[in-house]
Structure 1
């Protein structure tokens, strides 16, 4: 009878072991599903990051292009500034010459008026 009891205990232990194995397999399967879900989400995130990286590279290219255009504009502005200084210097010289001509004209006019007044007085 002891052998039968031992055999029954062994059968119960095997049944319990099968239950535990089944429960463990279900939990492992659930974990595998969770891992698969995480892997899918990570792949989606990787795609989004790659897309973002592409956009950043495009933006960087646009910034480089803009920087080149700004450098060109800066050069043009510097040239325009030099040209304006040259032109204003020339205008200033012309105004000084004109002022000097007016001074001479006023002096001559005053001299002629004096001469006319003297001739009238005589």
Structure 2
């Protein structure tokens, strides 16, 4: 089998795995994350703005959580959260929030390699 065909198969299968992982995190971990930010003004504003619990709404709320947890020093500096709010969140939950999206970015870069190879 040609290496390009094998790489293409891995990329296609991996894309569905990454998307499934992202959907899993949005469905199961979002409410747990928002539970730690009950008093946070930014999170409450997003919840009021987006309202219903549909797919796109959960995506936007999860993007806020990722933005806060991806660079916590910047979030504290800009006033999105306090050090106390950050210290309460379990490290495993932080990893569940951030790593699927980092994996998606790496996967997108891999697709870029695939496109240039094509």
TM norm structure 2: 0.26
Choose between structure 1 and 2: higher helix proportion: 1
